[in-house]
Structure 1
Amino acid sequence: MDTHAKKRQIIAIIDALRPELEAISLFLHQNPELGGQEHQAAQRLMEAARQRNFTVQQKISGYETAFIAKKGHSGPKIAFLAEYDALPGLGHACGHNLIAAMSWGAAAAFAEVAGNQAVSYLIGCPAEETSGAKVSMANDGVFDELTAALIVHPGDANNLGGTSYASHPLQVTFRGRSAHVASKTDKGSNALDALVMFYQGLQQLRHTFTQENIIAGMITKGGIAPNIVPAEAEAKFTIRALSSHYLETTILPAVQRLAQGVALATGTAVETCHYEPLFKELLNHPKLLQLYQNNMMLLGETVTRLKSQDADGSTDVGNVSHAVPTIHPDIAIGSPLTAHTPEFALAAGSPYAQERLLVGAKAMAMTAVDLLTTSL
């Protein structure tokens, strides 16, 4: 069977899977679960995989709700990444119910068409909105031997390319010495003054960097009473750049030097630590992008190619892309839409979105078919 015939078969299989894929998407939408607690979602996906004779390995990289389902024994190893966590108070306002269904549909269809020519993976990735299971999974080598990894995200346009911000969540704690503010003999050492000086210094420091960056944060601890000199003050920051290398070798060292300088000037001590994992920037693979774009066109879709430095958020898919050729395009489910809003959550459960997930599944599986005869 030639490539075009295989792609026609992909389309037919996914059309036949429509009731199952819609049922999965809507079940997740109606039963949202937070990151690391997606027990129903993971079970639903693993059961679907077992019914199609995928072998399933559970509890990956320390996550109860992470799994690897695969079918096939030789040839290219193509992974479809499933996300399924929801947002507090908003439900599936990032459309992960659709991502889970799209990736499962693509994995099931590709496995059937490829037969013994390839290995089809559905990799269940929890907690994208919080700790990012893919960070630990990438560190553990889960993606290292794959040929390619694909995931499609719902949005308000068929966008292709671009990147994401590398993100370094940093907690900064200054420690001084408490005293009563009215004491004439002991003025203490004010940790909050140090933290405020550091916060103000950051606003000046960020303008000295030569690459695009984002530095934002909030004070999470400022003292225990207004008449007591604060002995401890703490803040959490998100520090981002378009390059994880620049972030780690230039921005973070400068931030830490600033913190140490403030501590020295104020007679305090300072401690910095990560409070969440580092998300690396997304590296969309150019050849894989072109294959996907070609297949979207075969499906009658138009796509917008974004500039390589176009970024508007962070994702742990970036960590996957540093280990294996990866793409992370968007598929339109309505317009205008902004992720992490009630309107997006409503759109993710709409009949139109359930139609669109079929397009995403087909485009991914058809791209995987190309990889049976095309090297990256």
Structure 2
Amino acid sequence: MEYKELKDQACHYVDELKPVIYGIADALHDHPETGMNEVFASTTLKKILQDHGFAIDNPVADAFPTAFHAVCGNGPFQMGFLAEYDALPEIGHGCGHNLIAAMSVGAALAFAKAAGTKATVHVYGCPAEETVGSKVYMSEHGVFDGLEAAVIVHPGTDQTYIGGTSYATHPLQFTFLGKAAHVADATYHGVNALDALVDFYGRLKAYEKTLTERHIIGAIITEGGTAPNIVPDRAVLKATIRALKVEYLEDKMLPDIKKIARDVADAHGAKVEMVHYEPLYKNMINDPKMDVYFADAFNQLYEEFGVRDDDYAEGSTDVGNVSQVTRVSQPEICIGYDINAHTKEFAQAAGSDLGKMQALTGAKAMARVALDVMGEKY
């Protein structure tokens, strides 16, 4: 059978799976769970996949109990579909992960049926994308090794997009430790941790002006003392430190910034403790050829789309870590207009009729792209 026929067949299968895809989207939307707490979502997805012949395991159970790996078939082509399903506190599915889960599962089921004996199909349940990023840990522990490609489609607003990248990010917390004293003590003045932190903040802003590559440094002071008449013995700054390339972030920015913090602490007679409070999210590498396949798929599905420049980035995602291991493409599909992600309005769009209709389109596009990639070799 020609691959065009297989792709059309996969789209037909997605239409047949509409109750399943809509059911996932609605069920997860009605039961939002934050990262590491996605028991309902994980159980729901595993049950559906098992009912369609997938075997389930969890190669990272000790670290992420709500993760899973579902596999079907034993063909030579190894294709991955990435499912996310964590929600945001209070807001719910303000990033549309209920739709990501629905699209990825629907696309995997359709692709498995169309590909037949040529493929082994992998669905990865990836918890906590909004916080600790399970795909970081999974990538480091070889979970995605052996895949020839992986796909995921993220909900977006105003227009469907292909291409772009994401920032590499490695958030860092600085805790300056001094010695407390009464501010009016005539002989003992202590060591002011807040003075050290404020000095560090100023030097951090000055350092930022010397950077030659695109970056983001955002910082807030979360602790600065307990009372104005006590010299602070502890002051804490949390920073998000990002760059378009993980090498620039890890090899240039972070070593420089940590040295500045140590120099400041020494100058003030204080100590400084530094800890990465979230894991390293690497920059996203969208595979150019897979982007072309998505463009063709959206054209065939009458979905209008824009193409982003290679250096266009708005945020960070642990999908970037997967893209450093295997070929990946992550388009955005429009589910609403004049709204922003991580808002209640976006959460409403993720549960809307338009959102679910677009999930069907996204699933079809993913299945078509998977068949395109398979067609390169098999």
The separation in 1 between residues aligned to 2:256 and 2:374, in whole angstroms, is 47
Q: Secondary structure at the match of 1:187?
A: coil
Q: Secondary structure at the match of 1:64?
A: coil
Q: Secondary structure at the match of 1:193?
A: helix
The separation in 2 between residues aligned to 1:118 and 1:59, in whole angstroms, is 21
**What is the match of residue 218 of structure 2?**
216
Q: Secondary structure at the match of 2:220?
A: strand
**What is the match of residue 371 of structure 2?**
369
Q: Which amino acid aligns with 2:99?
A: L
The separation in 2 between residues aligned to 1:293 and 1:18, in whole angstroms, is 23
**What is the match of residue 108 of structure 1?**
109
126-135 vs 58-67, which moves further: 58-67
The separation in 1 between residues aligned to 2:238 and 2:42, in whole angstroms, is 31
CA contact (8 A) 1:177 1:191 kept: yes
**What is the match of residue 237 of structure 1?**
239
Q: Which amino acid aligns with 2:155?
A: P
CA contact (8 A) 1:14 1:105 kept: yes
Cα shift at 1:299: 1.0
The separation in 2 between residues aligned to 1:60 and 1:79, in whole angstroms, is 17
Cα shift at 1:12: 0.9
Match 2:230 to one of 228, 231, 238: 228
Identity among equivalent pairs (%): 48
RMSD: 1.2
- Please give the per-residue CA displacement for 1:231-290, whole angstroms capped at 9, x wherever unaligned: 111111100110110001111111112112211221111121111101000000111111
Q: Secondary structure at the match of 1:290?
A: helix
- Please give the per-residue CA displacement for 1:304-362, whole angstroms capped at 9, x wherever unaligned: 11000000000000001000100110001121221001110111100111111000000
Q: Which amino acid aligns with 2:227?
A: A
**What is the match of residue 13 of structure 2?**
13
Once superposed, which parts of structure 1, at least 4 consecutive aligned residues long, lie more than 4 Å away? Answer: none
363-372 vs 80-89, which moves further: 363-372
**What is the match of residue 148 of structure 2?**
147
Cα shift at 1:144: 1.4
Cα shift at 1:375: 4.7
> What residue ranges of structure 1 are gaps of 5+ in the alignment?
none
CA contact (8 A) 2:59 2:143 kept: no
Per the normalisation by structure 2, the TM-score is 0.98
CA contact (8 A) 1:76 1:371 kept: no
**What is the match of residue 299 of structure 2?**
297
**What is the match of residue 80 of structure 1?**
81
Q: Secondary structure at the match of 2:67?
A: strand
The separation in 2 between residues aligned to 1:305 and 1:165, in whole angstroms, is 18
Cα shift at 1:59: 5.9
**What is the match of residue 35 of structure 1?**
35
Q: Which amino acid aligns with 1:281?
A: N
Q: Secondary structure at the match of 2:315?
A: coil
Q: For residues 14 and 253 of structure 1, do their structure 2 counterparts lie closer, same or farther at Cα, with a shift above 3 Å needed?
A: same
CA contact (8 A) 1:155 1:337 kept: no
CA contact (8 A) 1:56 1:69 kept: yes
Q: For residues 124 and 37 of structure 1, do their structure 2 counterparts lie closer, same or farther at Cα, with a shift above 3 Å needed?
A: same
**What is the match of residue 307 of structure 1?**
309
The separation in 1 between residues aligned to 2:306 and 2:334, in whole angstroms, is 11
Cα shift at 1:121: 1.1
**What is the match of residue 253 of structure 1?**
255
Q: Which amino acid aligns with 1:87?
A: L
The separation in 2 between residues aligned to 1:227 and 1:353, in whole angstroms, is 55
The separation in 2 between residues aligned to 1:166 and 1:4, in whole angstroms, is 37
The separation in 1 between residues aligned to 2:127 and 2:26, in whole angstroms, is 18
Q: Does 1:178 align with 2:180?
A: yes
Q: Secondary structure at the match of 1:372?
A: helix
Q: Does 1:92 align with 2:93?
A: yes
**What is the match of residue 4 of structure 2?**
4
**What is the match of residue 49 of structure 1?**
49
The separation in 1 between residues aligned to 2:135 and 2:377, in whole angstroms, is 25
The separation in 2 between residues aligned to 1:210 and 1:131, in whole angstroms, is 29
The separation in 1 between residues aligned to 2:23 and 2:102, in whole angstroms, is 9
- Please give the per-residue CA displacement for 1:39-92, whole angstroms capped at 9, x wherever unaligned: 000111000000011010136252010000010112211111000000001000
The separation in 1 between residues aligned to 2:119 and 2:99, in whole angstroms, is 25
The separation in 2 between residues aligned to 1:292 and 1:282, in whole angstroms, is 16
1:252-271 aligned within 5 A: 252-271=254-273
The separation in 1 between residues aligned to 2:260 and 2:371, in whole angstroms, is 52
Per the normalisation by structure 1, the TM-score is 0.98
Cα shift at 1:302: 2.3
CA contact (8 A) 1:59 1:65 kept: no
Aligned length: 376
Q: Which amino acid aligns with 2:272?
A: V
CA contact (8 A) 2:79 2:150 kept: yes
CA contact (8 A) 1:166 1:278 kept: yes
CA contact (8 A) 1:11 1:362 kept: yes
Q: Which amino acid aligns with 1:64?
A: P
CA contact (8 A) 2:168 2:242 kept: yes
Cα shift at 1:372: 2.2
The separation in 2 between residues aligned to 1:29 and 1:334, in whole angstroms, is 16
CA contact (8 A) 1:60 1:68 kept: no
The separation in 2 between residues aligned to 1:8 and 1:287, in whole angstroms, is 20
CA contact (8 A) 1:98 1:354 kept: yes
Q: Secondary structure at the match of 2:86?
A: coil
